[in-house]
A = this chain, B = another copy of it.
Amino acid sequence: MFPNENDEIHYFFLFLQLMKFKASQIAAILNGTIDGNEDVSVSKLAKIEEGEKGSISFLSNVKYTSFIYSTKASVVIVNDDFKPEKKISATLIRVKDAYQAFTQLLTYYNQAKLDKKGIESPSFISDTATIGNEPYIGAFAYIGENVKLGNNVKIYPQVYVGDNASIGDNTTLFSGVKVYSESVIGNDCILHANAVIGADGFGFAPTEKGDFIKIPQTGNVVIGNKVEIGSETTVDRATLGSTILKDGVKLDNLIQIAHNVVIGENTVIAAQTGVAGSAKVGKNCMIGGQVAIAGHITIPDNVKIGATSGVASSPKKEGVTLQGAPAMEMRDFYRSAAVFKILPELKKQIDTITKKLNQNQHAKPKYDKN
């Protein structure tokens, strides 16, 4: 899967800083056994060949085995069946699979790293906002009037939460997310950096002079629970009523969700796709990258749409797989696309036939005369 996974991890090692852990604590996390001093502390990950005092490393790929005898790392994670041929100064933590244990450690580290708490200064929190237990509010974050934050909410630096917005328990807004007023975000959601929720829908009424008058966008955005939204994705507020992302929706980066759109439960959409105004997308759909879905249409449940497709009308059946612009059933698209590739030859073939037939037609009178 990762042809050179160890090398990749080795590369990665250079950058990571840990909190301070004892070998015994790490062994407990990894469900491993200790060979050596269990009280030695580490605060850093390092490549085995570059390990130094206070760092932890791992040995999985046999080509790095020789380094375990010379490494200055304080702790090395090894496979259960590793048998040293010489004396090793490092404390060993033996686990079933050293590589997997290491990824487990990364995940643990990741969770610990993201478990920020407290309110940094300066931040701007309106007197009328209510904040749940154990918040993280980063510096330069802005919490508007009447905002409601649930418990264990994490608001990273430079986030903006407009007046009257509400954000559910355990939801994380990464740096630069902008939530316009009246938006409602559920529990256990993750919004990535610079996503924009609740900006005005794109609605203008033409005048006789050829210019446009803005139609006020007085609705809002309502986002369910366990929704993840990628960086730079935009979800516009409704003209009236709500633009809705239901529970479990996952949106990748740079996606456009227009006003009054509804996306059904557990539908997953890849990067740079756009859903135009008032379209309704069913539940459990899987939509590829750079897809365009036209306004006011309905995508039934369980539909799959291949990358770069353009869907201009409502598919009639649940569960179909679509491709192309305009979109059609995927197997039909690929059959037609195969012929598209040979269209010049096909045209030549047709022209040859026509020519031949015309010659035959000139020739025909002979037969007619027979």
Residues of chain B within 8 A (CB-CB) of A344 are 332, 335-336, 338-339
**Is A214 engaged at the interface, CB distance under 8 Å to the other chain?**
yes
Contact B140 A142 (CB under 8 A): yes
Among the 9-residue stretches A57-65, A81-89, A353-361, the one with 4 or more Cβ atoms under 8 Å from chain B is: A353-361
Given contacts A142-B139, A199-B231, A347-B339, contact A157 B124 (CB under 8 A): yes
Q: Dominant SS at the A interface?
A: loop
**Is A184 engaged at the interface, CB distance under 8 Å to the other chain?**
yes
Q: Complex Cα distance A100/B202, Å?
A: 21
Q: Complex Cα distance A325/B254, Å?
A: 21
Contact A192 B181 (CB under 8 A): no
**Is A67 engaged at the interface, CB distance under 8 Å to the other chain?**
no
17 additional contacts (CB under 8 A) given A142-B175, A176-B176, A353-B354: A12-B220, A17-B163, A106-B216, A124-B140, A142-B157, A160-B193, A174-B199, A178-B194, A190-B200, A210-B284, A252-B256, A254-B256, A292-B308, A339-B344, A340-B340, A367-B367, A367-B370
Could you jot down 24 A-B contacts, CB within 8 Å? A11-B242, A15-B166, A17-B163, A109-B218, A124-B157, A138-B142, A142-B175, A158-B176, A176-B194, A178-B194, A180-B193, A192-B199, A196-B231, A202-B250, A211-B247, A231-B236, A276-B307, A290-B292, A292-B307, A308-B310, A332-B341, A335-B343, A340-B340, A353-B357
Residues of A with Cβ closer than 8 Å to B? 2, 5, 8-9, 11-12, 14-17, 103, 106-107, 109-111, 113, 120, 122, 124, 138-140, 142, 145-146, 156-158, 160, 162-164, 166, 174-176, 178, 180-182, 184, 190, 192-194, 196, 199-200, 202, 204, 210-212, 214, 216-220, 222, 226, 228, 230-232, 234, 236, 238, 240-242, 247-248, 250, 252-254, 256, 258, 265-266, 268, 270-272, 274, 276, 284, 289-290, 292, 294, 307-308, 310, 312, 325-326, 328, 332, 335-344, 346-347, 349-350, 353-354, 356-357, 367, 370
